[in-house]
Amino acid sequence: MRKQTNKERREETLEQVGILLEQNDTDALLLTSTQMMCQIIEKFVGRICNDIQYTNFSVDIIMRCVAQKTYETLLAIVELAKLDKGYSAMPLLRPMCEELIFISFIKTPAENLMIQYMQDKVILEILQGFKAQNEFFPRAAQLLSLEDYSQPEPERRTMDELESRILDQKNKLKELGKKIGWGNRPAPTVKYMAEATNNLMVYDFFYHASSSAVHASLHHLGRMVWGNPSTGVFSITNKHFKQYYHRFVLTYGSWLASQVVSIVQAQFPDDWPKEEKDSWSILLALFIVPAIHHQAPKIITKEELRWSK
């Protein structure tokens, strides 16, 4: 099959966008445009993630991993939006944001130290995972009164050895932290990385926007309750704000994905599908740039501003 040129793809994209604009349906425009972005990102991540030559754990590999995960996450957001489950996609914005900040942070002159940090951090996370599962399953079996549970509780010696290895690994990471710059701690905080990469406003925005969906939040729980004050009849559901969540996750999921792609593209410039150059720019200009310019969707909705004090 003959590969399309940049001009052909541009005209094709403009035709699709023109039809959407004529329909004057903002929600359909957002959904279809995000799907079109996914198709372009799929080409790029396919080139940098499929059948590659792996030599060692490196910044290069992590960049590829984050690009692939971002693509898969944006696909999941699209599927949830199609099902009118935008609220369930809100928590997905949090890791997208943190990984955007992380790949900005690891692009540092101290790359060798950063590689050592990532290798040691992986080991720490695996050890912590072992500890968590060794503590959880026996106690969960007790709570459920599982008489036929055959796995014995880990010996105290085993747990002590595991705890010792975790402590040693944390100390190694603390020494690296002193050399790289985040001080006497095993890992930099996301806020520290955001400050170091001039992404603090991005961190703050998505922390407040998505953390409420990740953690127990009175704001998001209260947002579920709507009705008629004069009759006193209310209902409790996230469906009250389904259009808001639909627009929020598609707009900002696409924005975060575009930022990740921009960083990873700089790492692998020859792998970007050149036939999509103009189409990508059209999609960014269509709904991401206006969203940022007009500051919409916001974290706090106009409906909530009418709440009685």
Q: How many domains does the chain have?
A: 1
Inside any domain, residue 139 = no
H-assigned helices in the chain: 6-23, 26-49, 59-82, 86-89, 93-106, 111-143, 156-180, 190-196, 200-214, 218-223, 242-267, 277-283, 289-294
- Give the structural domain span for 201: 6-107+189-306
Give me the sign of the Cα torsion angle 14, 18, 21, 23: negative
Inside any domain, residue 36 = yes
pLDDT of residue 137: 79
Tokens 């549970």 belong to which residue?
149
Tokens 């402590």 belong to which residue?
167
161 Cβ contact list (under 8 Å, min separation 6): none
Inside any domain, residue 51 = yes
Inside any domain, residue 73 = yes
Q: Which amino acid is at 255?
A: W
Inside any domain, residue 41 = yes
Residue 223 burial (C-beta neighbours within 10 Å; 0-12, 13-18, 19+): buried
Output the six-digit token pair for 186.
């095993």
Residue count of the chain, please give it.
309
Inside any domain, residue 229 = yes
Inside any domain, residue 153 = no
pLDDT of residue 152: 60
Cα 210 to chain center, whole Å?
Answer: 10
pLDDT of residue 148: 61
Residues 136-159 have pLDDT tens digits of: 877 777 777 666 656 666 667 778
Residue 84 burial (C-beta neighbours within 10 Å; 0-12, 13-18, 19+): middle
**Exposure on the CB side of residue 119, measured as CA atoms within 13 A:** 11
Give me the sign of the Cα torsion angle 217, 219, 220, 223: positive
- Show the low-confidence residues of the chain (pLDDT under 70): 1, 109, 145-155, 212, 293, 307-309
pLDDT of residue 218: 86
Bridge partners for 233 per DSSP: 228
pLDDT of residue 146: 65
Inside any domain, residue 183 = no
Bridge partners for 227 per DSSP: 234
The reported pTM is: 0.89
Residue 288's nearest CA partner among 258, 243, 263 is: 258
